[in-house]
Amino acid sequence: MAVGRIGRPYGIRGWVHVHSSMDPPEALLLHRPWLLAPVPGRRRDVPLWSEIAIQRVRRHGTAFVAWLGECADRNDAQALTGTLVGLPRSSLPVLEEDEYYWADLLGCRVCLEDGAELGTVKELFETGANDVMVVVGERERLVPFVLGETVIAVDLKRRDIVVDWDRSF
C-alpha cells in the first residue's frame, strides 16, 4: 500500500528525500520493511513492491531524508526519484468500522443513490477541511469524502461508493 514517495537526491552519498502521506507523517518511520514500486508509466526497472533496506532515516524540514541500502551515490539516488514507498498491509493498524485506507478506495466505482455512475476514484487528496475524491468518468469531478454527508455507503467487496452529489457538479 503506497504511503509515500521518494523525492530528489539529498547530497552526493546516496541519500534521498522521502515524502510521507501518512498521518502523522512520522508514522512512516515506525514501519519496516519499506517496499518500493515505480510510478505507473514512468519507470520499468524497479520491480513492483520490492523490499528495500533502510540504512538510516531522519527528519529534514517538513519531510525526511533516508539512506537506502541500494544507493551508493547520487546517481543511484536520482534513479529512485518518483518511486512510490509502500508498506505491507500486515504492518498497518486494523481500521475501525467506517475507516478506510485511501489505497482501498482507488479504482472504486462512484454512483449516485439512483444508481447513475459518475466514474471511478482516480486519487484522493486532503484539503484540511475534508478529504476529496477525484472521480473520473465522462468528466473529472471533485467529490468530498465525508461519511454520512456526501458519502452514503462504501462497499469495498463490490468496489462501490454511493454518494449524495449533484450530477451537474
pLDDT digits (tens, 9 = 90+) for 100-136: 988 889 899 999 999 999 999 998 888 888 999 999 9
Q: Categorize the per-residue pLDDT at 21 as very low, low, confident or very high, splitting at 50, 70 and 90.
A: confident
Domain residue ranges of the chain, discontinuous segments joined by +: 2-90, 102-163
List pLDDT tens digits, range 52-69: 889 999 999 888 999 988
In this prediction, residue 45 carries a pLDDT of 56
For cell 524540514, the residue is 61
φ, ψ dihedrals at 96, nearest 5° = -75, 170
Give the dihedral sign, CA 42/46/47/52.
negative
Q: Say if residues 32 and 87 touch (Cβ distance below 8 Å).
A: no
Cα distance between residue 145 and residue 160, in whole Å: 13
Fold of 2-90: Elongation Factor Tu (Ef-tu); domain 3 (2.40.30)
pTM of the model: 0.68
Q: Say if residues 118 and 110 touch (Cβ distance below 8 Å).
A: yes
Give yes or no for residue 39 having a pLDDT over 80.
Answer: no
Give yes or no for residue 42 having a pLDDT over 70.
Answer: no
> Which set of grid coordinates corresponds to residue 100?
478506510
Q: Say if residues 17 and 65 touch (Cβ distance below 8 Å).
A: yes
Fold of 102-163: SH3 type barrels. (2.30.30)
Cα distance between residue 66 and residue 49, in whole Å: 18
For cell 508509466, the residue is 41
Q: Report the first-to-last Cα separation within the chain, whole angstroms.
A: 31
